Amino acid sequence: MPMLLILIASLLTALPALAQERYDNARFGYGVSVPSGFAMVSEGQNGDGRVYRSQDGRIELIVWGNRLLADFETELAERIGADSAEGVVFDSRIETPGWAMWSGTRAGHVIVQRTILACGGEAAAHLRLQYGVADRARLDSLAETTARSLVAPGPCL
Q: What is the pLDDT of residues 33-50, one digit of tens each?
A: 999 999 999 999 999 999
User: What 3-state class would DSSP assign to 135?
Assistant: helix
Q: How confident is the model at residue 7 (pLDDT cuts 50, 70, 90)?
A: very low
* Average pLDDT estimate for 15-28: 76
- Which CATH entry fits the domain spanning 19-148: 3.20.10.10, 3.30.470.20, 3.90.1170.50, 3.40.1000.10? 3.40.1000.10
pLDDT in tens, 46-57: 999 999 999 999
- Of 2 and 94, the structure prediction assigns the larger pLDDT to 94
The span from the CA of 115 to the CA of 82, in Å, is 14
**Which of 11-15, 24-28, 69-73, 104-108 is the least confident region?**
11-15
- Sorted by sequence, the CB contacts under 8 Å of residue 30 that are 6+ apart come out as 24, 63, 65, 116, 118, 125, 150, 151, 152, 154
Predicted local distance difference test score (pLDDT) of residue 95: 97
* Average pLDDT estimate for 18-44: 92
68 in Cβ contact with 122 (< 8 Å)? yes
User: What 3-state class would DSSP assign to 75?
Assistant: helix
pLDDT at 14 over 60: no
pLDDT at 1 over 80: no
Alpha-helical segments (H) within the chain: 2-18, 72-85, 136-148
Q: How confident is the model at residue 19 (pLDDT cuts 50, 70, 90)?
A: low
pLDDT in tens, 120-142: 999 999 999 999 999 999 999 99
36 DSSP assignment? T
The span from the CA of 134 to the CA of 138, in Å, is 9
Q: For the chain, what percent of residues have pLDDT higher than 70?
A: 88
Chain-centroid distance, C-alpha 112: 7
Question: pTM for the complete prediction?
Answer: 0.86
